[in-house]
Amino acid sequence: MTALTMSSASSAAILYNTSNLLHRYQPGQHVAASLSLFASVALLFWYVLRFLMSFNRN
């Protein structure tokens, strides 16, 4: 159940990072912006995997 909660929190973080990407990063900061967004997507992927793996244990 924790993985499901963290997945939804991670989804909210992706939305927040996307908003930052559009409004706060300058055009020359595209590498930092893409790394920030990639880290959020990777975290969401990790929690989705943990959620799916919890079904395998039971």
**pLDDT tens across 10-50, in order?**
999 999 999 988 999 998 999 999 999 999 999 999 999 99
pTM score above 0.85: no
CB 3 within 8 A of CB 56: no
- State residue 4's pLDDT score: 84
Residue spans of alpha helices (H) in 24-58? 30-57
So what's the pLDDT on residue 31? Answer: 93
pLDDT over 70 at 58, yes or no: no
Q: Considering Cα of 32, then 38, then 40, then 46, what sign does the dihedral take?
A: negative
> Quick count: other Cβ atoms within 10 Å of Cβ 20?
13
The two three-digit tokens of residue 4, written as one number? 């499901």
Which DSSP letter does residue 26 get?
-
pLDDT band at 1 (very low <50, low <70, confident <90, very high): low
Amino acid 57: pLDDT: 75
